[in-house]
Amino acid sequence: MTQHRAWTEVNLDHLLHNVQVIHSLIPSKTKIMAVVKADAYGHGIEQVTQSLYQAGVTSFAVATLEEAIEVRGLLASVEILILGKTSVQEVHQLAKHRLIQTVFSVEYTQALALVAKASGVEAQVHIKVDTGMNRLGFAHHQINEIKEVFTYKQLRVRGIYSHLSVADSLLPEDVSFTELQLNRFNQCLDKLKGYPYGHTHVQNSGGIINHPHLPYDYVRPGIMLFGIPSGEVREVGLKPVIELKATIAMVKMIKAHECIGYGRSSSFPSPKRIATVTIGYADGYPRNLSGQSAPVLVNGQVATQVGNICMDQLMIDVTNIDGVIEGDQVILIGTSQKHTINMGTIAKKSATITNELACRLSARAPRVYRSSSKKEVKTFVQAHSHCG
């Protein structure tokens, strides 16, 4: 196998394990709608969607029309929901690729129906209800406006859903707000009795973990699929799917009080053995970890990052680790022997969330896919999407 300067390893067995965990949490009749936007949260949409499909997942959600068309090109028969806005002028693409579009306002619904009529096509839609996120969606009390969606002959309503804003928190006030959102959604459904609103879904990753037993038709796991949930959630046995690795390019001794890296930001009162690692912020490793003693793993032991993180390289202190040489592997996110550096730790240190950190990983860190069902490790060097 080609040795890359920096790479991510994607464990598809862990992905399938996480699917099993989700099934163990939710009601038996509830199905998974896998959210694979932003190139499957930086894990690679092609391999992820195909693995999920082989595991029995037949519903997917994405953010954009382009993502939806990509999934359709991979899987011909699955259900694909676009969570974000699509230009109404693209309604023919929605129909051509058998995609489901979210409708979220009176104006957008009217415009979509008008263009669909002019184009001679039918658009499949899910209705988005805003229960407190205050982003996209009909207000939960706009019952008459929601009922109007069913009057358009060019629109076929396939589902109705909402989104939870603090389901990944166990703070009492946040749990109360999640319950308020659920009550608002349920009241909306009660007032729509007799209307063929189709499938219902509310729970995102945090909602699945902290509120698993809700009686809706679908759940929408995103970051949870990859074993790196953000926020405050219960431990449910998820396994991280991705690891971030690089190699050591050089090891050198520096004298006491010598400085390291740009800005001469780090120095030590005693001599140190410093290793330069072949990864930097252009590969997706956060520059704002500079000076925070971020941990990495070398030969099964913990080293710390020193100096300012560069575009293509970073430096680590390996003074207390014997036998470190050029070519040794460095694990920036992952496990080695008894030590683990999880993405949540790195995200917290860099003042972000696991979702963003996973999406930051750039094309310079190609993905290596691992699966026990395949004899060979398959490597994909491809452009990665970024979360917007």
The domain ranges of the chain are: 12-226, 242-381
Query: Is position 311 annotated in a ligand binding site?
Result: yes
H or E element that contains 101: strand 100-103
- The pLDDT value recorded for residue 363 is 79
**pLDDT tens digits, residue range 231-265?**
777 889 999 999 999 999 999 999 999 999 898 88
The Cα 310–Cα 109 span in angstroms is 48
3-state helix, strand, coil in the chain (%, to 5): 30, 25, 45
Q: What is the mean pLDDT of residues 278-299?
A: 94
Q: What is the mean pLDDT of residues 361-370?
A: 89
- The pLDDT value recorded for residue 381 is 42
Structure tokens that stand for 270 in this block? 């005693």
Q: Mark whether 262 is an active-site residue.
A: yes
Residue 382 has pLDDT above 60, yes or no: no
Nearest residue to 6 (alpha-carbon basis) of 277, 352, 376:
277
- The pLDDT value recorded for residue 385 is 41
Question: Which one from 96, 252, 255, 262 is the annotated catalytic residue?
Answer: 262
**pLDDT tens digits, residue range 188-210?**
999 999 999 999 999 999 999 99
* Selected residue with higher pLDDT from 350 and 385: 350
Q: What is the mean pLDDT of residues 275-286?
A: 96
Query: Is position 315 annotated in a ligand binding site?
Result: no
Which pTM was predicted?
A: 0.91
Residue 109 has pLDDT above 80, yes or no: yes
- The pLDDT value recorded for residue 291 is 87
Structure tokens that stand for 129 in this block? 């209800």
- Give yes or no for a contact between 211 and 203, defined as CB atoms under 8 angstroms apart: yes
Structure tokens that stand for 384 in this block? 């990665």
Superfamily the domain 242-381 falls into: Lyase, Ornithine Decarboxylase; Chain A, domain 1 (2.40.37.10)
Return the bridge partners of 201, or none. Answer: 161, 218
Q: Mark whether 96 is an active-site residue.
A: no
Superfamily the domain 12-226 falls into: Alanine racemase (3.20.20.10)
Q: What is the mean pLDDT of residues 85-98?
A: 98
Question: Which one from 37, 128, 245, 272 is the annotated catalytic residue?
Answer: 37
